[in-house]
Structure 1
């Protein structure tokens, strides 16, 4: 980057001094002084997708210690500047309950058979337990419950839950 400056100073009505042989010197004159300067500065920046964190360029699109911004750490992977993993997915899914997926969540929450299915599944640690919760439940209720999951996985938390949604 270059910066150029120029300054012009004009001094008028200066009294002349001295003698020139054979020349008539005027008693008043002027002086024009032009000063120029050029400065050059070079800056090294980070590549696109990187940020300066603690004095070094860091890829905030994939660094789990600086995911999306300096100091924003992830427990899982960092994909496209967003945390991915169970904790990031759970946090995003919780936020989506009052955001993007509010309609689907409210629909299940205010329909007792769907809410009962949801409560049962939330207490499960195995697929066998989930299957037992769904046993004998009407297909429409299962669809209503699954719409919440689909909203989280396909709309609200695509990156955050990519390792959880299959």
Structure 2
């Protein structure tokens, strides 16, 4: 998936065991951040609540000019900014905050198409409340990041950028 021809390509690597995301330039890791992947582990099946593995691409980038803490529902800003008071009023919400990098699978039969389609499962890299722990699996399938971290990442990404999610060291 990475073309090491004339142009060195930027891409993202996510390690499930290490709970880390790296921005890579060619085969060199240039920046890294802690993440939180699925509490249900790894898996591609619709309804599993698991983080899908393999090669993906960034399908869409949402929230570019919005303030940190912007609340999203259905990939649309609600007009709310996350706060502990808001969280107390809606304790059941799975908070999707600040920015969304919506992923699509690149491997037919593994993470693209049918009951294993990452895009139709609405798998994102997104911001989360600061009180949520990083470095441990706690999400519902997505890759969660601190809000400042997801902004820093978002500003270095582009639609179509390759993303590799691995469950091995």
> Which category of TM-score, normalised to the shorter sequence, fits these structures?
under 0.3
Q: Going by fraction, where is strand more abundant, 1 or 2?
A: 2
**Larger C-alpha radius of gyration, 1 or 2?**
1
Q: Which has the higher contact order (CA 8 A, sep 6+)?
A: 2
TM-score (ref. length: structure 2):
0.25
**If the length of structure 1 is used for normalisation, what is the TM-score?**
0.25
